Structure 1
Amino acid sequence: MVNGDMKNVASLLLLLNFCMYAIILGIGGWAMNRAIDYGFIIGPELKLPAHFSPIYFPMGNAATGFFVTFALLAGVVGAASVIAGINHVCTWTAESLPSTASVAAIAWTLTLLAMGFTCKEIEHGPRNARLRTMEAFLFILSVTQLFYIAAIHGAASITRRP
C-alpha cells in the first residue's frame, strides 16, 4: 500500500513539475524573443559600447540574461525528466529507476543553478512581472523537484526490503 501511495505522490509531482516547467519555458521563450528583437544592435560604425554584454536583455537588469538562459536550460531538461518520469511511473520497476533518477537529479541541479541567478537578479533590482513570475516558479520547482526525487527513491527503498 505504501508503494502505491508513493506512486501517486510521484505522479502528482510529475504533473505539477511539468506544468511549472512549461510555464518557465513559455516566459523564458518570450524573454529570449524580446531580447533578440529589441536587444543591442551594432550601428554602421561597428563600435561596441564600453560595457557590452553578449547576453543583453532590454528588460530586467544585468543578471537577466544569465537567469533567462539557465532557466530555459532547466526548463528543457526538466520537461525531459518528466518524460522519463512518466515512463518510470508506468512501469514502476527497479530497472527504470536509475535513468529516471539521474535525469531528475540533473534537472534539479540546473534548476538550482537558475535559482542562483534568480537570487542575483533579485539582488540587482528592478525587473518586470513576467520575470518575477519565472523567479517564483523556479523557487517552487527547486523544492518540488527534490520532493519528486525523494518520492521515487523512497519507493525504491520500500520495494527492496525483504
Structure 2
Amino acid sequence: MANEQLKPIATLLLGLNFCMYVIVLGIGAWAVNRAIDHGFVIGTGFDLPAHFSPIYFPMGNAATGFFVTFALIAGVVGAGSTIAGLNHIRSWTSESLPSAASVATIAWSLTLLAMGFACKEIELNIRNARLRTLEAFLIILSATQLFYIGAIHGAAAYRR
C-alpha cells in the first residue's frame, strides 16, 4: 500500500480496541460467574422455578442476559480479530487487507449487536456499576472499531 500515513493510526486503534475487548471479556466473565454462582438453584427433584430462564442474571434487568452473552461473543471475536489486524499492519499490503477488514467488520457487527442490547439495558434502568462500565466500553468500541476499519480501508484508497 502506498499510503503509510494511516499505518500509525491503524496501529493505535488496533491496540486500543484489543485492550478494550479484553476488558469487555473480563467484565463479561465476571457477570457470567456471578450468574452461575447466584442464579436459580434447582432442587433435588429437578423442578425448575416458574420463571426459569437459561440466561438469568441476578443483577441487572431483563436485557442483562442477552447483553452479557453477546458482549462475550463480540469480545472474543474482537480480540481474535487483532491477529489478522497485526498481520496486516506488519505487512501493510493489499493482499493482507481483505482478511483483516473482513474479520474486523464481523467483530464490529457483533459489537453493534451487543451495543443494541446495551441500549435496551440502559432503557430498562436497573443495573450495577460494572454493567454500566461494560455498556460504556461497548458503545465506545462500536465507534473505535469503525474508525479502525476506515483507517485500513482509507490506506487502500490511496493505492496507485
**Partner Cα distance (1:39, 1:55) in 2:** 9
1:33 aligns with 2:20: no
SS of structure 2 residue aligned to 1:3: coil
**Residues paired across the two proteins, number:** 159
1:84 aligns with 2:84: yes
Structure 2: state its 5+ residue gaps: none
SS of structure 2 residue aligned to 1:5: coil
SS of structure 2 residue aligned to 1:4: coil
Q: TM-score, normalised by structure 1?
A: 0.95
Q: Deviations over 1:91-144 (max 9, x none)?
A: 001110000000000000000000011011111121110010000000000000
Q: What do you get for the CA RMSD once the two structures are aligned?
A: 1.1
Query: Which structure has greater helix proportion?
Result: 1
Q: TM-score, normalised by structure 2?
A: 0.96
Query: What letter corresponds to residue 134 of structure 1 in structure 2?
Result: L
Task: Give percent identity, aligned residues only.
Answer: 75
Query: What letter corresponds to residue 117 of structure 1 in structure 2?
Result: F
1:60 aligns with 2:60: yes
SS of structure 1 residue aligned to 2:127: coil
Structure 1: state its 5+ residue gaps: none
Aligned to 2:72: 72
Cα distance, 1:5 vs structure 2: 1.7
- Decide whether the 8 Å contact of 2:40 with 2:49 is kept in 1: no
Cα distance, 1:52 vs structure 2: 1.6
